[in-house]
Amino acid sequence: MKPSIEKLAEKGFLFSALFSVSITILIFFFMVFFSFPLFKGGDIAKFFTLEWNPYESGFGIVPMMAGTGIIALLALLIATPFGIGCSALISVFSTGYFGRFLRKVVEFMTGIPTVIYGFVAIFLLVPFIREIFEKGTGMCVLSASIMLALLILPTIILFISNAFNAVPKNYLDAADSLGATPAQKLVYIIIPLAWKGIISALVLAAGRAVGDTLISLMIAGNALQIPKGLSDAARTLTAHIALIIASDYESPEFKSIFVCGLILFIFTTLIILALRLLGYLKILRNR
Amino acid sequence: MNRFVEYQIKLFCWISGIILICTIGILLAFLLHKGFSSLNLPLIFGETRPLDGLFLKTRVVDGLFPAIVGTLLLILTSIIWAIPTGVAAGIYLAEYCNEKWKPGFNLLLDILAGIPSILIGLFGFAVSVFLHKHLSEHIYPCFLISSLALACLVLPYIIRTTEQSLVNLPFFIKTTGLALGASRLQNILLILIPYNLSRIISGIILAIGRCAEDAAVIMLTGAVAMAGIPDSLLSRYEALPFYIFYISSDYNSQEELMKGFGACIILLLICVFLFALSHILKRRAAKRFAIHI
């Protein structure tokens, strides 16, 4: 091909790459641009107060931050033992038929749309939770975190089981020749060697849990309060963004969702940096 | 470690595996049980005659047809934006990018891949507000904005699959063409990309799946409950995921609810089909590499 075409193509490739990464910067820029008037006006402190009351100009987003934190943390707490258990089953205990089947199921789970989890939960889990607590609507922190745990489980399981499989084979062979049982191999060799992988999986899952919109929007109840118990309704940052549809683009109410967006963006960046620090991002990219 | 603890660990792992499978089983069984009876032609076409609806002669009012068409059009449009950009950027990262710039590109792309979809939606919404204020009064959140936002959402996936599939090629394949006198561009376009096509396509299909399932982006950028089939890029539209969300919060009758379950099954079938297709292609690609190496 002519050298000029080569040059042109290279420019084109470079331009596409620059365009793609500039989206990230643009998103950050837009979040700052739209929430900037609030920073400048000096009433940013108001946003970090407890009260959300648009009629008396209280736009505190602390309840939403608390809701996000509590729901995501609870989901992680539920999902972690299951995640480690299932990945140990896949990589260590049942490498035969059942393990392969379980892995297929988990891979299949990554293909189920979030909105379907939410939809089924409304008619299956929520009535059940309502019966248990015997008060409220059943749309509460507990229901949301159970569904969220189910949503992030595939991420956790696939990531941890990849980390387990990456343990050098000769270590395992050595353990085998010393007569170690599978459980001993898991506790004394695989987990100590793969702990970074486990932490990375949890960090990644935390990112997914915080970033998910539909489940918390559909089944967390969306109440504007700091949840005090498992049966309380709560609202997350993501659901808050989805719920505020202000027609008046100049109102502080509308601008406050960009502060939420900025917080989520910074959180995502921190997650990515943490994953880099752990050195496990390569596995993620390869998937 | 005594035998009892070992036994407990093993038991715990098996129980967690079985609980997981049962949960998913119950979930799917519930969905199928509830929605199976509503899976028929009236679900899709309402009271319109199917053929009239299909060829756009009559507007389908109370069926899922506009939502399904909306979703498919949306996927198609966003993929048209995302594929050229994504593949080109992937080629750049794999073949041209120098080591000084690479960490920066990687960091920004990783952040883009990790950004919650609602934030991409908010970005699209902000862009439409910005354009509304500064460019034209007629720009509102619409089909065009949605498809662009969805393209942003799936761009990092397409870039990564393209890049990884090029980087992971065996050395002799990368160099044979060059040794025979092909230029760099010829080598990429005529040898590396065709050789890798099934892997790249599997990544693209996965990206299509993400377009199909995402509700958070389209919720903020112009999907509405009743709009019919979009007639221009600047009109509002219906989409399956949004329809499901809408029904769950705002159904008036048992009949509507049943339609919600039907919509769930259709969406699930679309996603599972795409997912399986991508899986098969990936596996075929893996087999092909196994022979060569």
Helix spans in chain A (H): 3-41, 62-88, 97-109, 114-133, 141-165, 169-177, 182-185, 191-211, 214-219, 237-243, 252-278, 281-286
pLDDT digits (tens, 9 = 90+) for A140-151: 888 899 999 999
- What is the C-alpha separation between B2 and B4, in angstroms, rounded? 6
Nearest CA in chain B to A80: B16
Nearest CA in chain A to B167: A286
Tell me, what's the pLDDT at B155? Answer: 92
Q: Which residues of B touch A90 (CB under 8 A)?
A: 17
CA distance A6 to chain B (A): 6
- What is the C-alpha separation between B60 and A103, in angstroms, rounded? 41
CA distance A53 to chain B (A): 22
ipTM: 0.86
Residues of chain B with pLDDT under 50: 293
* Residue A136: strand, helix, or coil: coil
Rg (CA), chain B: 23
Which residue is listed with tokens 């042109």? A8
CA distance B150 to chain A (A): 12
Cβ–Cβ < 8 Å for A166, A197? yes
Tell me, what's the pLDDT at A286? Answer: 47
Q: Is B167 on the interface with A (CB under 8 A)?
A: no
- What is the C-alpha separation between A33 and B60, in angstroms, rounded? 42
Residues 6+ apart with CB under 8 A from A196: A163, A278, A279, A280
Tokens found for residue B225 = 């409950």
Tell me, what's the pLDDT at A150? Answer: 92
Q: What are phi and psi of A53, to 5 degrees?
A: -150, 90
Q: Do B96 and A119 touch (CB under 8 A)?
A: no
Superfamily covering domain B39-292: MetI-like (1.10.3720.10)
- Percentage of the residues of chain A whose pLDDT score is greater than 90: 21
Q: Do A6 and B117 touch (CB under 8 A)?
A: no
- What is the C-alpha separation between A119 and A218, in angstroms, rounded? 8
Predicted confidence (pLDDT) at residue A41 exceeds the cutoff of 70: no
Residues 6+ apart with CB under 8 A from B152: A23, B112, B120, B123, B124
- Hey, which residues does A59 pair with through a beta bridge? A52
Cβ–Cβ < 8 Å for B155, B85? yes
**Residue-averaged pLDDT of chain A:** 83
Angle between helices A97-109 and A141-165 (to 10 degrees): 130
Lowest mean pLDDT among A153-157, A226-230, A232-236, A245-249: A245-249
Predicted confidence (pLDDT) at residue A224 exceeds the cutoff of 90: no
Tokens found for residue A210 = 């915080």
Tell me, what's the pLDDT at A40? Answer: 66
pLDDT band of A72, cuts 50, 70, 90: very high
Predicted confidence (pLDDT) at residue A45 exceeds the cutoff of 70: no
Q: Which residues of A touch B1 (CB under 8 A)?
A: 183-184, 187
Cβ–Cβ < 8 Å for A113, A37? no
Cβ–Cβ < 8 Å for B117, B216? yes
Tell me, what's the pLDDT at A43? Answer: 59
Q: Is B268 on the interface with A (CB under 8 A)?
A: yes
CB-closest option in A93, A107, A110 to B10: A93
Q: Do B24 and A89 touch (CB under 8 A)?
A: no
pLDDT band of A287, cuts 50, 70, 90: very low
| C-alpha to C-alpha distances, A97 to A50, B6, B24, B212, B280, nearest whole angstrom | 53, 22, 18, 32, 20
* Residue B221: strand, helix, or coil: coil
Q: Which residues of A touch B29 (CB under 8 A)?
A: none
If 0-12 CB within 10 Å is exposed, 13-18 middle and 19+ buried, where does residue A101 land?
Answer: middle
- What is the C-alpha separation between A280 and B46, in angstroms, rounded? 50
Measured torsion, CA atoms of residues B284, A83, A161, B117, in degrees rounded to the nearest 10: 50
User: In terms of Cα–Cα distance, which of B155, B142, B116 is closest to B218?
Assistant: B142
DSSP line for A142-180: HHHHHHHHHHHHHHHHHHHHHHHHTS-HHHHHHHHHTT-
Which residue is listed with tokens 């049942």? A94
pLDDT digits (tens, 9 = 90+) for A85-107: 999 998 888 778 888 888 888 98
Tokens found for residue B62 = 């109370």
Secondary-structure percent of chain B, ordered helix, strand, coil, rounded to 5 = 75, 0, 20
Say how many CB pairs under 8 Å bridge A and B: 246
Tokens found for residue B120 = 């991409």
Predicted confidence (pLDDT) at residue A223 exceeds the cutoff of 60: yes
User: In terms of Cα–Cα distance, which of B44, B37, B38 is closest to B61?
Assistant: B44
User: What is the 3 state secondary structure string of B118-187?
Assistant: HHHHHHHHHHHHHHHHHCCCCCCCCHHHHHHHHHHHHHHHHHHHHHHHHHCCCHHHHHHHHHCCCCHHHH
DSSP line for A92-135: II--SHHHHHHHHHHHHHTTS-HHHHHHHHHHHHHHHHHHHH-S
CA distance B271 to chain A (A): 6
- What is the C-alpha separation between B287 and B202, in angstroms, rounded? 14
Tell me, what's the pLDDT at B125? Answer: 87
CB-closest option in B16, B92, B112 to A17: B92
